[in-house]
Structure 1
Amino acid sequence: FQQQGVAVFSLEMSKDQLSEKLIASTSGVALAKIRSGHLNDDPGNNDFERLTMALGQLDQAPIWIDDSGSLNILELRTKARRLKSKLNIGLIVIDYLQLMSGKGEYKGNRVQEVTDISRGLKILAKELDIPILALSQLSRSVDSRDDKRPMLSDLRESGSIEQDADVVMFVHREEMYHRETKKKNVGDILVAKHRNGQTGAVELAWVPRLATFDNLQGAKISRRVNE
């Protein structure tokens, strides 16, 4: 198979911040240690060796990061077409959708603007025949409920996100809301919508020092989201 690249449009974090997290998750060296420079050089636990190996892997990885402070749907379309043609990208990641702007004058109608952005992403994905992973904010209604697990109705500023997306997944960590929970360092991926597949929840291990998720032994689809 021909290797395909990934285009990341990071509107929230800078390229340096995102690179730090990529290096930590790839190397297994704690993010705090990378930032402070307090690294081990002990035999068998050499942070320098792990970082060198990770940097080599990432240097060869076909990842293209755009950390422009602003991006509208027309600019994204132009950049994505160019990257598809030159770098054969196979995935576009947007962090996050609500920081984008639409293609016209909306006179304060943010719902219509987000609707246009969402539908523009849908059209672009079909045109380029590649998946687009768009992160989204949630509404504050989640915080006012006893059950903090997000639902499709919590997607912020537009119902069209739910309508346009083929798959909607939420990340949920119980201990963020209930410190006494038994699910320490465990996260749920809630598959709330899957146009061609099953919905449910998958447990993952949360690794705080690397700010990443990892496989949890025996992880599987454990329950229906709507149950």
Structure 2
Amino acid sequence: MLIDGETVPGVQIIVEANDFYRQRHAWVFEACVTLFTRNDPISQISVADELARHQRLEEVGGLPFLSHLIAVVPTSVYADNYARVVRRLSIHRQLIDAGGQIAGIGTRAEEDEEESLRKAEELLYRMRLGQNTRDLEALRDVLDRYVEDTEQLVGGRVGGVESGFVDLDRQLGGGFQPADLLILAARPGVGKSAFALNVAKSAAQTPKPDGRPRIVAFFSLEMASEQVIERLLAGESGINSTRIRGHVWTDYEEGAIMNAVGRLADLPLYIDDSVNLSVVALRSKARRLSLEEGLDLIVVDYMQLMSGTNTFGNRVQEISEISRSLKALARDLNVPVLALSQLSRAVENRPRHEPLLSDLRESGAIEQDADVVLFLYRPDMVFTGEEWERQHPDQDYPRGIADVIIAKHRNGPTGRMQVVFEEQTTTFRNAARAGGGTAGPDGYY
């Protein structure tokens, strides 16, 4: 940088002042950056003057030290490579420091083990956050990468993750897209957990076009893993979920359940039922699974039961942090993240109880961060048969019919479609027209 001030922009996006081991090197770096920011020429004399203005010139070793720095570097051509060496060594020092702090956490026996693990994971998580910066790219490079990805898509090698609901997948342009944060919201009891579990199972059952399995991670903060399994078995076997939960079944039903166990056993579906899961712990578990087995879809049930990395004392800020972290995770691992969310009671103050984006509970950041917002709406939970007939005399009562409303779609159209809720097995399935097929583009028949 002292030899060629034009190297400052490239170096500055790789390293920061605190990446230097010796303080005097950090001060020289800061002086060069300050001069570049002011559009002042960078030379041995101008840097010395900048250091002198802050009473640092003598501390760094004066002009002889600046001359020494210029003399020991043969050329400025490899400035970016030199910067990466500094950054790499800085990360190693941070790891050593984090290791010491983790050792300190481990020696404090009075702390709860879960809290100790959370603190240790947070140290490494914050280090990782510092490495997620990306440089500007030329449009040509971005286009080349896009064309390559498109060729893979056309060749049947990559693409979105199918939800199992054909109308929804079509409306989303081929399923849940990589790096997207999708929010599924509904009032309690409508069936958002059942819908999400349907999506997770369908994705795990559908291999990629190249034949490899799709790996799905299901983080269940609301239900224990046993309850998740019971729902999966009910949907796969067709046996009443209440009978499965109560372990009351006939010999025929037991055979159907055992067959369902056999079919589900090999699915690449991973379940975590940790209570009060933090964003740091979720990110750590998802990254580990991604490295060890691969990962194609993450489902979180549900956001409001998660905890942030800090205690803000403000739930809105905490949910905002969780929302941003889930979006960052989707981009970091390049997989779709389906996160369930509650709706506020404001939806109940409207005659039809149909949800709006403003009903997303506790934070407007959810709407901002999400690429897709889906609402699950069931008219039969709002209207009795008599009320429906009085208000819609020309329409049949929509018992078991649910509307999936795409209220936000960052990269495509919004809309709605219908699915059918099977109360006996607590599952959803595709709706079919009387004449066969599924819903049209508008979601209706």
How does the TM-score come out when normalised to structure 2? 0.48
Aligned to 1:160: 365
- 1:190 has 2:405 as partner: yes
| 1:220 maps onto 2:435 in alignment | no
- Offset of residue 221 of structure 1: 5.0
Q: CA RMSD in A?
A: 1.4
Partner residue of 1:82 out of 266, 288, 294 = 288
Q: CA deviation at 1:50?
A: 1.9
Query: 1:16 is matched with which residue?
Result: 226
Deviation (angstroms), 1:222:
6.0
Checking the alignment, whether the CA contact within 8 Å between 1:7 and 1:63 is kept in structure 2 is yes
Mapped partners of 2:356, 2:342: distance in 1: 12
Structure 1 segment 100-115 matched on structure 2, within 5 A: 100-106=306-312, 108-115=313-320
Aligned mates of 1:147, 1:176 — CA distance in 2: 10
Confirm or deny that 1:137 pairs with 2:342: yes
Residues 1:141 and 1:222: Cα distance change in structure 2 (over 3 Å):
farther
> 1:5 deviation in Å?
1.3
Equivalent position amino acid for 1:9 in 2: F
Distance (whole Å) between structure 1 residues aligned to residue 440 and residue 426 of structure 2:
23
Report deviation, 1:147. 2.2
Q: Does 1:53 align with 2:53?
A: no
SS class of match (1:89):
coil
Distance in 1 between residues matched to 2:440 and 2:415, nearest whole Å: 6
Gaps of 5+ in 1: none
Q: Does 1:203 align with 2:422?
A: no
Q: Report the equivalent of 1:170.
A: 375
Q: CA deviation at 1:223?
A: 4.1
CA distance in 1, matches of 2:442, 2:250: 42
Of 243, 247, 258, the residue aligned with 1:37 is: 247
Equivalent residue pairs, number:
219
Q: Partner of 1:92: helix, strand, or coil?
A: strand
| 1:73 counterpart = 2:292 | no
For residues 99-126 of structure 1, the C-alpha deviation after alignment (integer angstroms, 9 at most, x for no partner) is: 11111130x2111111111000101100
- Report the Cα distance in structure 2 between the residues aligned to 1:221 and 1:85, rounded to whole angstroms: 40
Name the % identity.
45
Please tell me whether the aligned partners of residues 200 and 221 of structure 1 are also in contact (alpha carbons under 8 angstroms): no
Match of 2:355 among 133, 150, 155: 150
In 1: Cα distance, 2:228 partner to 2:302 partner: 13
Instruction: Flag the structure with higher helix content.
Output: 2
User: Are the aligned partners of 2:299 and 2:337 in contact in 1 as well (CA < 8 Å)?
Assistant: yes
Letter in 1 for 2:314: N
**In the alignment, is the contact (CA less than 8 A) between 1:4 and 1:87 conserved in 2?**
no
Q: Matched residue of 1:58: which SS?
A: helix
Corresponding position of 1:120? 325
| Structure 2 partner of 1:5 | 215
The answer (yes or no) to whether the contact 2:432–2:439 under 8 Å persists in 1 is no
Give the distance between the partners of 1:16 and 1:197, measured in 2 at CA.
37
Which structure 2 segments of 5+ residues have no match? 1-209, 389-396
Greater share of residues in strand: 1
Q: How far apart in 1 are the matches of 2:365 and 2:414?
A: 19
Code of the aligned partner of 1:220: A
